[in-house]
Amino acid sequence: MGNMSLNRAARGDSSDEWYTTPATAAVELERHRDALRGRAVHCNADGPDSAFARWLSANAADLRLRRLTLTRWREGAGSLLDPDGCGDRWDWAGDGWEHARLRGDGSYRSRECMRVTAGCDIVVTNPPFSLLSDYVPRMLRAGADLLVIGTLSCAKYARILPYVLDGTLRFGYMCSRMRFRVGDGERVLGNARWLTTLPVRRAPLRPHGDPALLEPLDGRPGVLHVPRLDMLADVPGVYAVPLTFLDVWPLDGWRLRGVFADGPDRHHLGRACVHGRNLFARLCVQRL
């Protein structure tokens, strides 16, 4: 089965067992046709049955994909119960998949799979959410573009936030209300987001909030708290905004300066408070 959690056996954690539906994959992939054209693609948590593999193989000729490779982790490979087990690899041959066994377990971070990633232009998949903090920077260091599914909250992770702040990484077109297959049914995951290094064209952001209605953060008189995005003002200044600002961030005219949350680096600015009340994580943005 495609998009399997790499650590569900170790942790017994069912939260990673969210399988991308064909509609969820198709809506976003269609928006990136030009960016995918002529490229070598690696889906490193997928088998031929995954929504990504189906869409990409069906469109491979039209997109003139240089290469389409899938690798998939095998649960329990190399363990006492499956000492000779190994992961799988599939390469699209134009009219079907050519299958081969990997030497290792097929983990995305294995040397074997990282060599495949390094030889491709872009990675497209739904990685395990619990491993995003490792997965995203590892793929970027390999030199690959990314078009993967993550979560809203991963944007504030210490190992991912710097890529968001410098504009390397952004949210894709389809934000929230994404459908996933869980067990025998489907569920909507409101905090799911596409993470990508590909260009995303957004309309200019021209909010209509009244700055007179916004209160400053405790101890930070120069930063105005924006409880909801519809209250954001189009006035030069610094604002503490919800993470959902990344859904509409147009890059031009707005600079990300960090996140108001506890963290180990200079990009984490400490918790934000208003009237002594701790707020959920907020982005620090500057209207230029």
pLDDT tens sequence across 129-154: 999 999 999 999 999 999 999 999 99
Type of residue found at 24:
T
Q: Within 10 Å of residue 280's Cβ, how many Cβ atoms?
A: 11
**What's the CATH class of domain 8-196?**
alpha beta
pLDDT digits (tens, 9 = 90+) for 141-194: 999 999 999 999 999 999 999 999 999 999 999 987 788 888 778 888 889 999
Q: Which residues have CB under 8 Å from 28's CB, separation 6+?
A: 147, 172, 173, 174, 194
* Helix ranges (DSSP H) in the chain: 8-11, 22-31, 33-36, 51-63, 111-118, 132-141, 161-165
For the stretch 113-126, pLDDT in tens is 999 999 999 999 99
How many other CB atoms are there within 10 angstroms of residue 82's CB atom? 13
pTM of structure: 0.88
Q: Give the start-end residues of each E strand in the chain.
A: 19-20, 40-43, 67-72, 88-92, 97-101, 122-125, 145-151, 170-175, 178-182, 185-189, 192-196, 215-217, 220-225, 237-241, 254-260, 273-274, 277-278, 282-287
Q: What share of the chain is helix, strand, coil (3-state, %, to 5)?
A: 25, 30, 45
Q: Tell me how crowded residue 168 is: count the other CB atoms within 10 A of its CB.
A: 11
| Domain residue limits, the chain | 8-196, 211-287
